[in-house]
Chain A
Amino acid sequence: MRRIPPNGGTPLAGIVACAALALSLTACGGDDDGGSQGGGTAGLEGRGPITFVTGKDRSGNLQKQVDAWNSDHPQEQVRVIELPDEPNDQRQQMIQNATTKSDAYSVLNLDVVWTAEFAANRWLVELPMASLSGGSGGSSPQAEKGKIDLSAMLPATVKTGQYRGRLYAVPSTSDAGMLYYREDLLEKAGIAEPPKTYQEMWDACDKVQKLPEGEDADCYFTEVNKTESMTISAVEAITAAGGSIIGPDGKPALNTPQARQGLEFLVDAKKTRMPKEAVTLDTEGGRRYFQSGKLVFQRQWPYQYALANEDDGSSEVAGKFAVAPLPGPDGPGVANLGGHNLAISAFAANKATSLDFINYLTGADAQRANLLATSQAPTIAALYDDPEMVKKFPYLPVLKKAIETAEPRPVAVKYGDVTAAIQGEMYDAVTGKKPAEQALNDLQAKLGPLTAQ
């Protein structure tokens, strides 16, 4: 056996090769049943144990809240199912559960942009909404028993839980971008107020960059890497200019002067005002960049506030920055809405319990505790004015204003396709591969069929 056969290899190798080929084909086979019922508002009935499906609970606060619920409801225990960290993986697993019509998932923690897709596919139960207007004004919640009272919530967040005027999900946390700025540098440059317009922002930069401390600092950063963040930056730029990506009539509206003005702001900012490596920086990359002290202005989510203020040496800018609403072309800009909503799976068993649990988690007390533990933005308006909260989270008034005027991302059943198209074209424009005009025209053409109804 010292010699290898002159014509080596074994039949087994052929089989393994076949198997490798086969795997490449089967990775994507879906199940092939088509019909489904689900959807509809009928029957929020059934009480008993349920599950709550959500991303990672890092603070441990969720488990605490669930434990409190469980000790009050021995017959209606809630079990938390944690999904992977990546939003896309969470969506995949929830969709998988829905396409197999499994009752394993009861209450779903959905990203705000998934509402349309999940609702249109009849994966969610329509929720009974108490009238928002003052029709039953002042009456106690019992007046509309079994209905969800959303009057305490910020209206912009409620919109993200709706699809075609019907409520499918209850807002539990919100999020919106704010302008982080280096208060210390602005002060040294003799600027008292944070900028309200782009021009004021650029002027402030020019002044700061003349200072010895500001020489190496880049002026501005908003995310322009080819991810969901690109969509958010594009929506913010275009809505600030008064345009929209998908108009109120549900059709793409990129062939407008406003859309063009918005995109041109992004292109110019990337070219002349942002760090050279801007296209490689994701949300965390942007945070590190700001924390290293190399940035004067930054569009970022609220979560950075606490982290950039850490005085353990991880942040060079602790205590040196403040937040303001995003600037726009001629006045305050428009932020984009993030956040999560709670919904009930159409295939869940105990829907009445699920509804109660949603009401519990989105109630004022639970949201207050959650804000304190995780600093996630609440959806209850009053919490933003609570002095105790504002003392702990000084950015709350700014954030409230941002959320009140915020616009959602395009509402589309095929959101995955829509956002991929936006990311592709906007990235090409921002990196100079295509003129802005052409990118907008191409995007208009791509979004047409994707939003056709």
Chain B
Amino acid sequence: MTTAPGHPASAAGSPAAGAPPGQSANGRGRKGDVQGTRRLAALLLSPTLLVLALVIGYPVLAGFRESLYARGEGLDDQGFVVEGDRFAGLGNYTAIFQGDRAAAFWNAFGNTTFFTVTTVVLETVIGVAMALIMHQMFRGRALVRASILVPWAIPTAISGLLWRWIFQADGAANAVLREQILWTADGFPAKMAIVVAEVWKTSPFIGLLVLAGLQMIPREVYEAARVDGAGPVQQFWRITLPLVKPALLVAVLFRMLDALRMFDLPAVLIGVNQKSVETLTMLAWFEASNLRYGSAAAYATVLFLYIAVIAYLFVKLLGADIIGEARRQDRGARKGARKKVTA
């Protein structure tokens, strides 16, 4: 929408195609017009921007500010906690990477990354398979669709409890496997338990989004492919996957951001302070629950940066789809303008 005012200006034969449209306009009347439109656009958008600033901007800044302070350090002679904030600068950040806490941090960092990679990969594969099944025409399709979505509808804490029962020493998992694995004790099996429960819970999410993508693919494309003699495998790799890719990438991105913030499932299924499943959010939680809000905010900020980097890389490397549409339109408009100029 915001690129629309650019069109008349460029069409008027602006030589500087790369410059912002408002400045490139020659006619004074036009210029005023454009500025008026821009002002109106800004005015109309301002409530949205204000809300965003309040609910996103302010908390982020307040969290960052909190991370620069420390308090409640040490006791006075009466045994009372010394009061007042102390400006700690980046002290809360450097403390994360020192000594014991560094080991805990890198352990949690590793766990978070491990959970994100394994669960998202598995969820993607299973989710796509689910979507393909749900997309088929067969009797009882509605029932299958509904039942696939059940895990997604169960609150995470509840599914954590369910899986806790399944994974306890005399639970269903061991009965089925005929093994004596201590899933819920701190150790490697606990990681596996988390991955299984998380994949079970969130595959339907990817399945649902991919299904929406599948339903947008026109039937004719497949008919044409069949006429050309493409087999089902070829059809999947050459038609289905490329056409469903935008929806799939959005789903995967969402899942990644979500998995990087994982807290409730490991906390309920295994417990807090368990080395093998401790994630970065749990470290921040632990700091906050022990009244070190500054340090907790520092952990949260580090996690924020990590998530931001991952999201940026994902968008950059895998198609830039989230904001790509708008940008391409913009570029297309400019190209068109340049063509007219040269003509």
Contact = CB atoms under 8 A, between A and B. Distances in A.
Interface of A: 2-5, 7-11, 13-30, 32, 34-36, 39, 88, 91-92, 95, 119-122, 163-164, 225-227, 276-277, 279-281, 285, 413-414, 416-417, 420, 423-424, 427, 431, 446, 452-453
Closest 9 CB pairs of A and B: A8-B246, A30-B293, A277-B169, A26-B59, A279-B185, A9-B321, A28-B296, A4-B216, A416-B290
Contacts of B308: 21
A396 to B, nearest CB: 33
B66 interface: yes
Nearest to A225: B185
B257 A20 contact: yes
B322 A9 contact: yes
Contacts of B62: 26, 29, 32
23 contacts: A4-B243, A7-B246, A9-B323, A11-B323, A13-B253, A13-B322, A20-B261, A21-B304, A24-B307, A25-B59, A26-B63, A29-B59, A29-B63, A30-B66, A30-B297, A32-B65, A34-B71, A34-B85, A36-B83, A121-B291, A226-B186, A226-B274, A413-B81
Interface stretch (B9-17, B20-28, B231-239, B279-287): B279-287
Interface of B: 52, 55-56, 59-60, 62-66, 69, 71-72, 74-75, 78-81, 83-85, 100, 168-170, 180, 182-187, 213, 216-218, 243, 246-247, 249-250, 253-254, 257-258, 260-261, 271, 273-275, 281, 284-291, 293, 296-297, 299-301, 303-304, 307-308, 311, 319, 321-326, 328
Contact of A39 (B55, B80, B287): B80
Contacts of B296: 28, 30
A225 B190 CA distance: 13
B186 A427 contact: yes
> A2, A7, A20, A225 — which one has the most chain B CB atoms within 10 A of its CB?
A7
A91 to B, nearest CB: 8
B182 A277 contact: yes
Given A28-B296, A226-B271, A34 B84 contact: yes
A185 B304 CA distance: 59
B186 to A, nearest CB: 5
Contact of A285 (B71, B168, B271): B168
A98 B56 CA distance: 27
A431 to B, nearest CB: 8
A28 B83 contact: no
Given A9-B249, A25-B304, A413-B81, 11 more contacts: A11-B323, A24-B300, A25-B63, A28-B293, A29-B62, A29-B63, A35-B84, A164-B79, A225-B185, A416-B286, A453-B79
B321 A8 contact: yes
Contacts of B217: 4
A3 B221 CA distance: 11
Contact of A2 (B218, B257, B287): B218
A281 B183 CA distance: 11
Contacts of A285: 168
B63 A32 contact: no
Nearest to A2: B218
Contacts of B186: 226, 279, 427, 431
A22 B286 CA distance: 19
Nearest to B298: A28
A252 B52 CA distance: 50
A227 B184 CA distance: 12
Nearest to A416: B290
B271 to A, nearest CB: 6
